[in-house]
Amino acid sequence: MTPEQQTEKAPFDTDAVVDEITRFVAEQTRTTPDVDQDLFTTGIANSMFAMQLVVFLEQAYRVTVAGPDLQLSNFRTIKSMAALVGRLQAESAADSDV
């Protein structure tokens, strides 16, 4: 990530992120899940799709989903993914402050 991208980053907008993730899931699965719906138990996602979600979040929000965060629980629902993105962006902002 370039310094410009970090400093110019807009404040985190959970609703917008939820919408974007929902759109991605819909595009890839032809299903529009509720934000709280478990994507794995309802058969929408498997581990391959989870991997796509990881790469999507990384690309769209310029975060890195590293080892300890590669847990299905972080990808179970659209809401949990949005929360993950929020946390990772906050962490990387804090990182670049020091």
Partner 1 sequence: MSDGHFAEHEATWRLVKENAGGWDIAGEIPRTVLSGLGAAGVLCAEVRKEHGGLGLGSQESGKLTAHVGSLCSSLRSVMTSQGMAAWTVQRLGTREQRAAFLPQLTGGRLAAVAFSEPDAGSDLGAMTTQLRLDGDTVIVDGSKTWITAAAYADLIVVIGTAGDTAAAVVVPTDAQGVRIEKVPHPMGCRAAGHARVQLEGVRLPAANVLGGTGLSLPFLVTTALAYGRMSVAWGCVGILRGCLGAVTEHARSRRQFGKPIAEHQLVARRIAELYAAERTATAVCQQASECWESGSPDQVIATVLAKHVGATEAVRGAASALQIMASAGASDGHVVARAYRDAKLMEIIEGSSEICQLELARHALATGHGTARQEEAQ
Residue 27 near partner 1 by CB under 8 A: yes
**Cβ atoms 75, 39 nearer than 8 A:** yes
CB count within 10 Å of CB 84 equals 22
Among 12, 49, 86, 87, binds partner 1 (CB under 8 A): 49
Is 94 a binding residue for partner 1 by CB under 8 A? The answer is: no
* Polymer length in residues for the chain: 98
Interface region with partner 1, contact rule CB under 8 A, candidates 4-12, 15-23, 58-66, 78-86:
58-66
Please give the Cα distance from 85 to 16 (Å, whole number): 12
| 8 Å CB contact between 1 and 12 | no
- Does 88 interact with partner 1 (rule: CB under 8 A)? no
Three-class secondary structure of residue 80 per DSSP? helix
**Using the rule CB under 8 A, is 35 a contact of partner 1?**
no
In whole angstroms, how close is the CB of 89 to partner 1 at the nearest point? 16
Contacts to partner 1 by CB under 8 A: 24, 27-30, 46-56, 58-59, 66-68, 70-72
